[in-house]
Structure 1
Amino acid sequence: MSARSRWLMISVGLGILLNPLNSSMVAVAIPRLQNVFQLDFTVVSWIIFSFYIASAIAQPVMGKASDLFGRRKIFLTGLVVAFVASLLAPLSPSFGWLIVFRIVQSIGTSMMVAVGMAIVRIHITEKQGTALSVLSIFLSGAAAIGPFIGGVIIHWWGWPAIFLVNIPFVVVSFVLSWRNIPKDEPSRSVALGMSFRKWSDLIDASGILLFTVGLVALLVGLLSVKSSGHFSLTNVIVGLIGLVALGAFIRHELRAKSPFIPLRTFAKYPAMTWINIEFMLVNVLFYSLFFGLPSYLQMVRHVSEFDTGILILSLGLCSLVTSPIAGRWIDKSGPRPALLLSGILMTLGSVWIVTLNQTSPVISVCLALAAFGISNGLNNVGMQAALFQSSPKEMIGVASGIFNTSRYLGTILSSLLIGIVMGGTFSFEGFRILGIILTAIALSLVIMSRRRRESGQVEESVGSPSSN
């Protein structure tokens, strides 16, 4: 690989790592934010909700925008947006303004993720597999070390520093990207000559609006009931607005020419649909632990942010170490054995959480973290392999987009689950209930993996022994 290609990968990698880094650092900041702004746990959870809802919407939209305006422009603009949001977030006069800047930050970082992989695919022609695997390390590595970095930073400099830490990455990535990302020639005539109505139809603005209103209203309705402890007319109305909007969204997507989420694809390819359902459940499991465990350690066990970050680091490291091993195993045996083992490990980890009590050694938490970390490494490779096997070649692009949407929906549902179980205060009893729910979800994944084998939905991989 040439020096120019390596510098291009570094330029893109430093940009795309900002999204997973910022989504994971906040895991150890929630207790501090709750104390600073004097809010209950349910309200503070919106620091997570807002980021993932914005990412789920922004990434596919920015992917479409890059086809019209150019990937280099979108990438550089994303860096500028992330820079501004990172500067302004620490100055937030209230939690509401912090949420606003968090959403802006999510949009900026999503712009880079949406086009980063495409830039590498287009401009690096040699050893593309190696190049994409390196970018995957930037993504997974940032998510893995995020809680550790967040814990160290908050311990020494306070919560505003988790936003300011982005600035060096943004500046270096912008300088390198300006020099190393080649200029592309977007279809300017299409972009400039397009009417607002056509542009709106292309990005499916109506679908995006209905999806956003429905999801946010439903979350507000559900979380308000849990936080207040009773139903009110306002809660019911807000929740109903969410359900109606989501129903209208489904109807709209089935009719749209360029849908935000191509729902017809799910009906046409049921095997691919089940893979996405499983992937969504996997992310509900993983991120419920990822966001719930730091709060348990700090609020229930009174562990410092620094020590919490070190403990959570074991989860990321296990995932990073497992991923390449899982790749070789899946090349030989296909994804089913790896996914089955992953489900078993998640079940054992969830059961272990249920057995913890308020006097259990804190270090024993690492057993659950290791189980989930290894299972996450298996899932990262196994689910993608299963997706590609169940999707027609001409649908790979669409399938990948739906796959990422499933990831974000799972993450959003995990935050919702934690908020509903905990209510206004994070407690040991709530954490144990969360463990019971996660155990049930993990068992369902094991059952789904076994049934997939029986129904033959996931075939043997191309690299299995029988095909060599």
Structure 2
Amino acid sequence: MGVRSWWLMIAVGLGVLLNPLNSSMISVAIARLQNVYRLDFASVSWIIFSFYIASAIAQPVMGKASDLFGRKKIFLTGLVVAFAASLLAPLSPNFGWLIVFRIVQSIGTSMMVSVGMAVVRIHITEKQATALAVLSIFLSGAAAIGPFIGGVLIHGWDWPAIFFVNIPFVAASFLFAWRSIPNDEPPASARNMSIRKWLELIDAPGVLLFTAGLVALLVGLLSAKSSGLISFRYVIVGLVGLIILGAFVRHELKATSPFIPLRTFARHPAMTWVNIEFMIVNVLFYSIFFGLPSYLQMVRHVSEFHTGILMLSLGLCSLVASPIAGRWIDKSGPRPALLVSAILMTLGAVWIVTLNESSPVISVCLALAAFGISNGLNSVGMQAALFKSSPKEIIGVASGLFNTSRNLGAILSSLLTGLVMGDKFSFGGFRWLGVILTVIALSLVFMSWRRRKPGQWEELEFHK
């Protein structure tokens, strides 16, 4: 790659890393935010929910927007939005406003993730595989070291620092992107597009139904658990959420440009099962990713700094395992790697059940290492399984659904942790979480063991 291509890679990389960095740094800030705003654990979990719900919605919408309005414009706009959110979030007068700025931050960083890969694919024509590998390092590396960075920042400068740290990244990315990303003119059809046509293209009704239904369901479930009362009001809110989600499914089956193309799942069962497995994988991973820091800080009273250091064992194991997984999967296919990953997750979950309030630190590191290695195997293995199970003509749609499954898995993991813990993160609750994760991991082992070989789904459909 030439010098200009490397500057473009740096510009895009500094932008796309902001989403995984901010989604991971918050894991060591939960305990601090709970104390600052005097909230129960279920309520403070919305700092996680809000980010992933916004990402799940913004990434596909902004991907469509970039095709109409230009990728460079969307990328630069995302940087401006992320800058404003990172600057204003520490000034939030209450937790509600912090959630608002967290959502804005998620939208801004999602704009860059949505178009970053496309920018690299279009404008770097030499050694494109190398360029994409470098970009994946920005993404996975930021997620891996996020808890460590967050721990160091909170220990030295308190929780606002995890927002202010974005500003130099944003400034550098904006400067490089302005100069290195070529201008791309939107297609002629976009210049005269009406607002109604644009809303139809992004499936605005579907987005609204999905958001309203999911939020209402979460509010109903978490409020009941947090208060300890199953009141008529909470039941009604949860039921309304379910009804809205039912309306969402009905709308998506009829929409010409659906937000989540549900009919695609029905037509391609092998791809559907890959997405289901990936969602379960992320429920397991993010339950540990957000649960263990809270266990260390709230139960073991470990500082944010040392919590961040301990969490490095998860991130570093994940980074080391990924390239090894790539070579293994190239030779043997995804099934063996995914089976080993599921077994490691089971062992890690069982190990968590055996922890007590005075377990040696090495025990925590072993559990984190097991989940870190499994995450490295899954990050490559699930992607390979997706490519094997998805027809080439819908690979773009399949990739979008794959990212949606990741975000939904993260949301479900936060919901699971919030329901188990309720108003207070406790050692007993953490042990119960480990038991539930063990059961989920065992189901994943069974699914991986029973995984069909490529082509068997097609044979099954043909005989039907």
Q: Same fold (TM over 0.5)?
A: yes
Asked if 1:241 is matched to 2:248, the reply is no
Q: CA deviation at 1:446?
A: 0.7
Task: Output the CA distance in 1 between the equivalents of 2:135 and 2:313.
Answer: 21
Deviations 1:380-400 (A, max 9, x none): 000000000000000100000
Residue 171 of structure 1 corresponds to 171
Residue 452 of structure 1 corresponds to 451
Residue 461 of structure 2 corresponds to none
CA contact (8 A) 1:390 1:457 kept: no
Asked if 1:411 is matched to 2:406, the reply is no
Residue 348 of structure 1 corresponds to 347
Residue 252 of structure 1 corresponds to 251
Task: Output the CA distance in 2 between the equivalents of 1:18 and 1:263.
Answer: 30
Equivalent positions of 1:12-411 (< 5 A) are: 12-187=12-187, 189-411=188-410
Q: CA deviation at 1:192?
A: 3.4
Q: Residues 141, 192 of structure 1: CA spacing in aligned structure 2 closer, same or farther, 3 A cutoff?
A: same
CA contact (8 A) 2:389 2:454 kept: no
CA contact (8 A) 1:15 1:170 kept: yes
Task: Output the CA distance in 1 between the equivalents of 2:457 and 2:45.
Answer: 36
Q: Residues 11, 332 of structure 1: CA spacing in aligned structure 2 closer, same or farther, 3 A cutoff?
A: same
Q: Residues 86, 151 of structure 1: CA spacing in aligned structure 2 closer, same or farther, 3 A cutoff?
A: same
Greater shift in the superposed pair: 358-367 or 18-27 = 358-367
Task: Output the CA distance in 1 between the equivalents of 2:453 and 2:154.
Answer: 49
CA contact (8 A) 2:269 2:457 kept: no
Q: CA deviation at 1:191?
A: 2.6
Task: Output the CA distance in 2 between the equivalents of 1:9 and 1:457.
Answer: 40
Q: Residues 446, 458 of structure 1: CA spacing in aligned structure 2 closer, same or farther, 3 A cutoff?
A: farther
Task: Output the CA distance in 2 between the equivalents of 1:103 and 1:206.
Answer: 20
Task: Output the CA distance in 2 between the equivalents of 1:435 and 1:456.
Answer: 36
2:344 counterpart SS class? helix
Task: Output the CA distance in 2 between the equivalents of 1:85 and 1:222.
Answer: 29
Deviations 1:102-140 (A, max 9, x none): 000000000000000000000001111111111001000
Q: CA deviation at 1:193?
A: 1.6
1:365 counterpart SS class? helix
Task: Output the CA distance in 1 between the equivalents of 2:38 and 2:313.
Answer: 31
Q: CA deviation at 1:455?
A: 9.0
Q: Residues 150, 257 of structure 1: CA spacing in aligned structure 2 closer, same or farther, 3 A cutoff?
A: same
Task: Output the CA distance in 2 between the equivalents of 1:448 and 1:454.
Answer: 12
Deviations 1:298-338 (A, max 9, x none): 00000000000000011000000010010000000000000
How much identity, in percent, do the aligned residues show? 81
Residue 462 of structure 2 corresponds to none
Q: CA deviation at 1:190?
A: 2.5
CA contact (8 A) 1:28 1:305 kept: yes
CA contact (8 A) 1:353 1:435 kept: yes
Deviations 1:20-67 (A, max 9, x none): 000000000000000000111011000000000000000000000001
CA contact (8 A) 1:452 1:458 kept: no
Q: Residues 458, 133 of structure 1: CA spacing in aligned structure 2 closer, same or farther, 3 A cutoff?
A: farther
Deviations 1:375-423 (A, max 9, x none): 0000000000000000000010000000000000000000000000000
Residue 422 of structure 2 corresponds to 423
Q: CA deviation at 1:363?
A: 2.7
Count of aligned pairs between the two proteins = 458
Q: CA deviation at 1:456?
A: 6.3
Q: CA deviation at 1:454?
A: 7.0
Q: CA deviation at 1:195?
A: 1.9
Task: Output the CA distance in 2 between the equivalents of 1:411 and 1:316.
Answer: 17
Unaligned runs of 5+ in 1: 460-468
2:257 counterpart SS class? coil
TM-score (norm 2): 0.97
Q: CA deviation at 1:458?
A: 8.3
1:452 counterpart SS class? coil
